[in-house]
Chain A
Amino acid sequence: MTVLFGQLFTGVSIGAVLLLIALGLALTFGQMNVINMAHGEFIMAGAYTTYVLQQTITGAGWSLLVALPVAFVVAGTMGVLLEVLLIRRLYARPLDTLLVTWGVSLILQQLARDVFGSPNVQTRAPDLLTGNIALPGGLTVATNRLFILTLAVAAVVALTLALRLTPLGRRIRAVVQNRDLAAVSGIATARVDRTTFFIGSGLAGLAGVALTLLGPIGPTMGTNLIIDAFLVVVVGGIGQLKGSVIVAFALGVLQATGEYLTTLSVAKVLVFVAIVAFLQWRPQGLFTLRTRSLA
Chain B
Amino acid sequence: MKRNLTILLLIVFAGILLVLAAGFTYGTPLASDMDDYFIRFGQAQIAANNIVTTIVFDYRGFDTLGESTVLFTAVIGVSLMFRRFFGGEDDADE
Chains A and B bind each other: no
- B residues sitting closer than 8 Å to A (CB atoms) are none
Residues on A facing B (Cβ under 8 Å): none
